[in-house]
Amino acid sequence: MTPSANRAPGSAAPPLVAVENLVVSFGRGGPEGAAVRGVSFTLAEGRCLAIVGKSGSGKSVTARSLVGLPGRHAVVRADRLAFAGRDLTGLGDRAWRGIRGREIGFVLQDALVSLDPLRPVGAQIAAALRLHGAPAPPSHVADLLRQVGVPEPELKARQLPQQLSGGQRQRALIAAALALDPRLLIADEPTTALDVTVQAQVLALLEETRARGKALILISHDLAVVSRMADEVLVMRCGEVVERGAAAQVFGDPQAAYTRSLIAAIPSARSRGSRLAPASSPRHGHAAPVGTAAARSGVPPAPPPATLLRADGLVKRFTGPDGRPSAAVDGVSFALCRGETLGIVGESGSGKSTLARLVMALEAPDEGSVTLLGEPWSARPEVARRALRRAIAIVYQDPLSSFDPRWSVARILEDAIPPDEPGRRGRVSELFGLVGLPEALAGRRPLQLSGGQRQRLAIARAIAPRPAVIVCDAPVSALDVSIQAQVLDLLGDLKRLLGLSTLFISHDLGVVHHLADRVLVMSRGRVVESGTADEVFLRPRADYTRRLVAAVPRLAHRADPALHRKGNAA
């Protein structure tokens, strides 16, 4: 307990959180190898601090140090680490447990897997209350769920996490964190993996929490999310704070070059047709082979029809958990032309991924048909489809689980090249060049690659058999904004170089607007609106699209974008 003597007389109330020169290191590494190096900040009640940076920048470790759980083998040192006037350095395990949950609520990232899958949601919230000796009658648990906006709270409390939607799970987690009315709420990536409209609802909930006088620490790589709520911003890179200041100042007039590059990396309507990442890809040395590759794949013996992929009245029904059939895809038609990027946006559950599976003929439609290169595709038996399979490829959101973890990068690519193709070795290194992967990674396993490298590998594998069409199912939604920018740039480059035709599925409107030529908006299995990207996003006609567009978080204090783009024009 710090005596009140060290408060300056006459000053405002002391900050709720005070951190000075925080250093967190893992293992035997010295201070230069520490995950967090010299972070300082203060936070008062009713204020919101945002910590932004890429994954691995130390932002989560910083926040987790405040509850004494920075991670295994972590050594935490600080000149000052105080909460509500209480010194947190050298606290025992029991004292920490008293703070966690009761004084500081923590909403961990990965909302989808942060609830125990084997126990009902209500039981888990009740356990959070009982841990600190609070009574937890079912009615109180239901009230807590109602307060965070979970519909039918009594029913949801009895259900397993998997029976709740992603947004409901995130709300339940927030309910558990707020159950004991803590003075500080820390939310680590609270909106990642959520749809825009759900994202907006969760942010509104956090905003409301702050309005009730709680202090809030928001950790995110999404600058747009942060700009809307934060009073103060810490920008972190490699364990260090590169910029710190009031939100309006950091976003309106960023001082650090790194902050400027983060802001420029956000895909949106404004960034259409331009590159997002400042660093140019290491592709230039391969200009010649790329050219020939494009020529080879771009000029097949007989020119195929302009419409490469066509869906007519696709319907796919599933039997729900209640035994009633429901249509996941309900009468969807579209045509994908040569060299075109067709974006498909919609919230989770809108049938986007089912549509992707129908297009890939991994699932048979109940009604309607898919035609590929003018030939029947969904209507054929798989044996007959096989010859045409290499004309269409898919890139998944989570590339890691789509690789054999025991295979090397080179073997994954070799395996994807058709066996009748001459010069396989040369083609592998050509693919490395095309997607901007260093060839030095050829011997690595997928697990040893970074998230961005994995997605590059997935794209290289997809284009290996020279497909006419690529289906991208949310390929960048699991990536940091700057990595996302690089992958989006890559997709844009490949489109220009190889004339790729892409079906691009995403819930991120900014990403789709940045990349797509035409857009389909899906809701509950139906196409509610379609048109060019600008038509759909700038002048939406359907109510649903309007709501979707309105829910997109935007940089609140953004200054003239041209100013920031100058630095990256090279």
Partner 1 sequence: MSAAPSRSRVTGWHRRIARLVLGAAAVFWAVATFTFCVQTLLPGDRAELILNVKAGTFTQPTAAELAQINARYGFDAPLAVQYGRFLGGLVRGDLGTSYQTQGPVRAIIAEQAAPTLLTLSALALAWAIALLLTVPSAGRDGSLARLVSGFQVAAAVAPPYWIGTILLVVLGVKLRLLRVESGTGPAGLVMPAFALAIPLSGFIGQVIREEFARVLDQPFVTSARMRGMSDLAVRVRLVLRHAVLPGVTLSGWALGALFSGAAIIETVFARPGIGGLLVMATSARDVPLVTGIILAAAGLYILANLLVDLAYPIIDPRLRAR
Which residues sit at the interface with partner 1, rule CB under 8 A?
A: 67, 69, 93, 97-102, 106, 108-110, 113-118, 127-128, 131-132, 160, 162-163, 173, 176-177, 321-325
DSSP reduced 3-state for 278: coil
- For residue 24, the surrounding DSSP H or E stretch is strand 17-26
Nearest approach, Cβ of residue 235 and partner 1 (Å): 25
Nearest approach, Cβ of residue 69 and partner 1 (Å): 6
Nearest approach, Cβ of residue 133 and partner 1 (Å): 10
Pick between residue 114 and residue 369 the one whose CB is nearest to partner 1. 114
Distances in whole angstroms, Cα of residue 507 to Cα of each of 162, 192, 474:
20, 11, 7
Pick between residue 162 and residue 532 the one whose CB is nearest to partner 1. 162
- For residue 536, the surrounding DSSP H or E stretch is helix 533-538
CA–CA dist 416, 390 (Å, integer):
9
Strand segments, DSSP code E, in 53-205 are 74-77, 80-83, 86-87, 104-107, 184-188
CA–CA dist 397, 475 (Å, integer):
4
- The radius of gyration of the chain's CA atoms, rounded to the nearest angstrom, is 25
Pick between residue 97 and residue 547 the one whose CB is nearest to partner 1. 97
Note the maximum CA span of the chain.
86
Residues 398 and 455 sit within 8 Å (Cβ to Cβ): no
Nearest approach, Cβ of residue 209 and partner 1 (Å): 16
Nearest to 356 by CA among 8, 402, 345, 367: 345
Pick between residue 129 and residue 428 the one whose CB is nearest to partner 1. 129
179 is written with which tokens? 């159950």
Pick between residue 172 and residue 431 the one whose CB is nearest to partner 1. 172
Compute the residue count for the chain: 570
Nearest approach, Cβ of residue 547 and partner 1 (Å): 29
Nearest approach, Cβ of residue 240 and partner 1 (Å): 25
Nearest approach, Cβ of residue 113 and partner 1 (Å): 5
Pick between residue 11 and residue 319 the one whose CB is nearest to partner 1. 319
Pick between residue 86 and residue 541 the one whose CB is nearest to partner 1. 86
Pick between residue 71 and residue 213 the one whose CB is nearest to partner 1. 71
Pick between residue 177 and residue 262 the one whose CB is nearest to partner 1. 177
Residues 50 and 218 sit within 8 Å (Cβ to Cβ): yes
Pick between residue 184 and residue 487 the one whose CB is nearest to partner 1. 184
DSSP one-letter string for 432-485: HHHHT--GGGGG--GGGS-HHHHHHHHHHHHHTT--SEEEEESTTTTS-HHHHH
Nearest approach, Cβ of residue 501 and partner 1 (Å): 37
Nearest to 484 by CA among 27, 55, 127, 57: 55
CA–CA dist 82, 413 (Å, integer):
52
Neighbours of 550 (CB within 10 A): 11
Taken in order 433, 438, 441, 446, the sign of the CA dihedral is negative
Nearest approach, Cβ of residue 178 and partner 1 (Å): 11
Nearest approach, Cβ of residue 73 and partner 1 (Å): 9
CA–CA dist 488, 515 (Å, integer):
8
CA–CA dist 369, 226 (Å, integer):
44
Pick between residue 61 and residue 417 the one whose CB is nearest to partner 1. 61
The residues, ordered by sequence, that sit 6+ positions from 301 with a Cβ below 8 Å of its Cβ are none
Pick between residue 106 and residue 258 the one whose CB is nearest to partner 1. 106
3-state secondary structure 142-173: HHHHHHCCCCCHHHHHHCCHHHCCHHHHHHHH
Nearest approach, Cβ of residue 320 and partner 1 (Å): 9
Nearest approach, Cβ of residue 540 and partner 1 (Å): 35
